[in-house]
Amino acid sequence: MMLGFVFVSQAQVDSAVKKAGNKTAELASKGKSSVVDEVYKDKVGPAGESPIYIDHDSKYYYVDKKGKKVYVSKSSLKNK
């Protein structure tokens, strides 16, 4: 009988944990934004980021892959 052992380095574990944490933060931020703020359906961000949200101060933003709000000017938005 052959038993296989898989050795995973600490760096690989740290990387996987960081990716999972970033994805969780992104989903949590997008979920909150979609409930609290208005979604701007006809526009995308300067590099195609979507969805675009409008906060209570009428500022436009999208949520990046780390869950952070990235504010953009209305003039930099593009049509879908």
Whether 1 maps to a domain, the answer reads no
In a domain, 55, yes or no: yes
Q: Is residue 58 part of a domain?
A: yes
pLDDT, position 51: 93
Range of the domain at 18: 10-79
Q: Looking at the domain assignment, is residue 5 inside a domain?
A: no
**Would 62 be classed as within a structural domain?**
yes
Q: Is the pLDDT of residue 1 over 70?
A: no
pLDDT in tens, 5-51: 677 788 888 888 899 988 998 899 999 898 899 999 999 999 999 99
Q: Quick: pLDDT tens for 53-77.
A: 999 999 999 999 999 999 999 999 9
pTM (two decimals): 0.77
Tell me how far apart the alpha carbons of residues 73 and 50 are, in angstroms, rounded to a whole number. 14
Query: Is 16 a member of any domain?
Result: yes
| Structural domain includes residue 54 | yes
In the chain, the number of structural domains is 1
Q: Which residue stretches of 1-80 are H helix?
A: 10-36
